[in-house]
Amino acid sequence: MASIQYKLFSQVVALLPLKLRMQVLYFRRFKKFCNFNNPITFNEKLQKKKLVDRNPLLAIAADKIASKNLVSEISKDLYIPKTLWSSIQLEDIDFLDFDVLPSEYVFKANHTSQTIEIIRNNKHLSKKRMKKLGKSWLKHDQATALGEWAYQNIQPKIFIEEFLDFGGREPDDYKFFVYHGIVHFIQLDADRFVNHKRNMFTRDWVELDFNYSYERKIPTPSKPHFLNQMIKVAEKIGHHFDFVRVDLYWYNNKVTFGELTIYPGAGFEKFPNKKWDLLFGEPWKTVSS
């Protein structure tokens, strides 16, 4: 839970003009100023994207419901988890019929991150609890807090999504860094809710020798047989952006959609040193404006 000090800091920073706000947050995180005029690192280019890229497609991509429709038009072979119910109003929860819902599903919000409740074995949340969660989720303003413009024009919704059963374990999450339609790097997150591990690779599955927020899984996971299928899907989607991270799973022998990430880590996730920040920034030739 955020401290009172952090909440007060966030409220004050939110009043600043966008560029100054990003500079304050960047300096607070990295102890140096962001070069907005000539960004060369990955995190600098993400900050520049927040400032200048106003492509309406970004709002669709960042919306966890609308993005499903977008990618379904781009890639017909991609499996997309079904949206079972959605609403912009908390009162609609009163009309939910648990008897017609599956025994397992996911309760989420569409306009922000880390707003998720997994329901298993018919252990439904009470409607009172769902309303309390929904209320806190719907009022969250990710666009203002971190300057993430893509979230600014999303109509906040709560929704219920199909639960994907990976045999009772946490699925491996494959995240493809796509620059101008080409995958250059892959992030693999494993055991996220047990003992989170993260490995970073080139597109050819050569492991990069660094820890990125989490320790690497050892021994290095083997190259999956479906990797080329995933790369093909990620590049078809990424062709429509200067940069996007395409998050995918392998479910029931199908490439399966997770989400599109416009600003990974909000541009504040630290690499171990500048070398890696530069490496991940290099393929991103021009930030759209």
128-165 tens-digit pLDDT: 999 999 999 999 888 888 899 999 999 999 999 999 99
Q: Are 175 and 76 contained in the same domain?
A: yes
Q: Are 141 and 267 contained in the same domain?
A: no
Residues whose CB is less than 8 angstroms from the CB of residue 183 and which lie 6 or more positions away in sequence, other chains included: 176, 177, 203, 231, 234, 235, 238
Q: Are 87 and 76 contained in the same domain?
A: no
Q: Are 39 and 127 contained in the same domain?
A: no
Query: What mean pLDDT comes out for the span 108-113?
Result: 93
Give pTM, 2 decimals: 0.94
Distance of CA 279 to the CA centre of its chain: 21
Is residue 230 in a domain?
yes
Is residue 2 in a domain?
no
Nearest Cα neighbor of 127 from 84, 88, 90, 156 is 90
Q: Are 195 and 249 contained in the same domain?
A: yes
Last residue of a domain, one of 127, 162, 197: 162
Per the structure, the complete domain to which residue 22 belongs is given by: 14-80+167-281
* Residue keyed to tokens 């796509």: 178
pLDDT in tens, 53-98: 999 999 999 999 999 999 999 998 899 999 999 999 999 999 999 9
Q: Are 64 and 103 contained in the same domain?
A: no
Is residue 9 in a domain?
no
